[in-house]
Structure 1
Amino acid sequence: MNHEDTTHTDNSRIHGEFFSVRASETAPDECMHLSALARLFQEVAGNNAKELSFDITDMHAQNMSWVLNRLQIQIERLPKWRENIEIRTWPALGDSLKALRNYEVWDNKGDLIVQSISYWMVIDLDSRKPIRIPKDILTRKFSDRPHTLKPTKNRLRAFDPSDAEQEITMQSYAYHLDMNNHVNNTHYIDWMLEILQSNQRQSLRWFDLVFLNELSSYMPVRVQSKDDRIQLLNTELNAVALAQWF
């Protein structure tokens, strides 16, 4: 397999898992839904965090939790039905408020087909507000492997709701909630991509999603698009999430 050069990389700190793409994870073109791939990212991240003793269970014991702040995905192609893939992930420190996590998806020919970087924050479970990352995590030594995508500080900005070119309405339900008692980030992906045409979803090469506010169950949301931007609004027209795609 023509895997990448890992010179000067501490592979002991790289976590990898193998998957076979299931029919229930695929679209009519037999390619994997982006949200389904994001769910696998979530699984491998959680498993790796458990190995490192800072997964959601460890955090909840301290009345805090990880929440996803941003997810950037670069797509060469999406995995197809019954295809065997390997997902590799490794964490990295950003600063005292954000941690980074990298993902790579490799096919069985040794080709890198998807790259992603995620930005995580820690919240206090009572106040639901961001807090500093615990010192025992900040002092860890993580892999010296380079980021799979260059981290960014560029901000995505909301557009005026009256300028939207398209709009659809969605609704959150109890089955959308996760262990943090809020709508799981993968459902945001489904809702926001729903506003695109099928050919746009199938040819998607970049998706940059920023999470701004939590959602609970039984809340109506508005999905709006303008040019290459998508925004998710609550009933007060406040932005819940922003995205850019091409």
Structure 2
Amino acid sequence: MPISSEFQSIYTKKWEIFISQCSTNSSLRYTELSNLFQLTAAKHSDLGGMSYFEMQENNQAWVLSRMRLEIEHLPLWHEEVEVKTWIESLDGVRSVRNIQMLQDGKPIAGASSLWVVLNTEKKRPEGIAINHDHLTKHPDLKATQKDYDRVDLNIKTKKIANYKVKYSDLDIVKHVNNVKYLEWCLDYIPVEILENNGIKALDLNYLNELNYQDEVSIEISVIIENSIYLYIKKDEKIYFALKIEI
């Protein structure tokens, strides 16, 4: 689609929280927070003339590489929120995007994210083919206290589960959906942490893609300085790394 007349450099979308998005304590799930952030970012890209279909005209797609989520408060079922997003930088191959959730005008969660332009046939990064001169960048406007970061891949962990990728895990480009990695990991976090909304921040690193029927292991660390580390591995290689601050 061409650049929409509704496109603005800072985009805001309203969302109502539905019961299917909530956990047993009626709060928005952490996975759904991540999903709403990514859906809002995708809509902003659509309005700006860089939708999935336009990117695919050049065999390209935006791929999430890293994200940091900081959570002060999670909304409840039936409540309404606004999600705001803007581009911090875009150098042709990589883009840093900020995303923020607000309730009654007050920020309650935020994300700093790194996206990479991937050639979907060659499976490697390359410069974006679509002109992006119309995009205003906001290098000094942040949604989090800390930027996205690299998760330490050398933490001692133990295997807690094996998993085989199912059809329901896949997205439109036939690899595992970003949110699924987080979902798999959070299933092994103590229930009392989840029930009490005890997670303050999440650092997510997407290192390699997983595909249908891939067999992986999920590994977890002990609590280290109020943080828990989880790795998803295939053939002993880390494909996804997660740091949870509690």
Give the TM-score category using the shorter length: 0.7 to 0.9
Matched residues in 2 for 1:93 and 1:219: separation? 34
SS in 1 for 2:39: helix
SS in 2 for 1:71: strand
Give the Å deviation of 1:135.
Answer: 6.4
SS in 2 for 1:191: helix
SS in 1 for 2:131: helix
Matched residues in 1 for 2:31 and 2:10: separation? 23
SS in 2 for 1:136: coil
Matched, 1:97 2:93: yes
Matched residues in 1 for 2:146 and 2:93: separation? 15
Give the Å deviation of 1:172.
Answer: 1.5
The C-alpha deviation readout for 1:173-203, integer Å capped at 9, x for no partner, is 1121112221110101101111211122321
Distance 1:12 1:94, change over 3 A: closer
Letter in 2 for 1:119: L
Matched residues in 1 for 2:70 and 2:98: separation? 12
Matched residues in 2 for 1:141 and 1:123: separation? 20
Distance 1:12 1:95, change over 3 A: closer
Letter in 1 for 2:229: R
Residue of structure 1 equivalent to 2:4: none
SS in 2 for 1:68: strand
Contact 1:65-1:180 at 8 Å conserved across structures: no
Letter in 2 for 1:212: L
Residue of structure 1 equivalent to 2:58: 62
Give the Å deviation of 1:66.
Answer: 0.8
Match of 1:83 among 73, 79, 85: 79
Match of 2:212 among 209, 217, 230: 217
Letter in 1 for 2:135: K
SS in 2 for 1:217: coil
Distance 1:16 1:23, change over 3 A: same
Match of 1:116 among 111, 114, 137: 111
Residue of structure 1 equivalent to 2:135: 141
Residue of structure 1 equivalent to 2:173: 180
* Number of residue pairs matched by the alignment: 231
Give the Å deviation of 1:150.
Answer: 5.7
Give the Å deviation of 1:100.
Answer: 1.3
- The two structures have a TM-score, normalised by structure 1, of 0.87
**Residues 1-246 of structure 1 correspond to what in structure 2 (within 5 A)?**
12-107=8-103, 109-134=104-129, 136-137=131-132, 139-144=133-138, 146-149=141-144, 152=147, 154-159=149-154, 163-165=156-158, 167-201=160-194, 202-226=197-221, 227=223, 228-234=228-234, 236-246=235-245
SS in 2 for 1:77: coil
SS in 2 for 1:119: strand
Matched residues in 2 for 1:135 and 1:151: separation? 30
Contact 2:166-2:212 at 8 Å conserved across structures: yes
Task: Give ranges in structure 2 of 5+ residues lacking alignment.
Answer: 1-6
Matched residues in 2 for 1:154 and 1:204: separation? 17
Q: Runs in 1 of length 4+ with deviation above 4 angstroms? A: 150-154
Matched residues in 2 for 1:153 and 1:38: separation? 14
Percentage of identical aligned residues = 21
Letter in 1 for 2:110: Q
SS in 2 for 1:104: strand
Give the aligned CA root-mean-square deviation in angstroms: 2.0
Give the Å deviation of 1:136.
Answer: 1.7
* Structure with the higher fraction of residues in helix conformation: 1
Distance 1:114 1:124, change over 3 A: same
Contact 2:68-2:147 at 8 Å conserved across structures: no
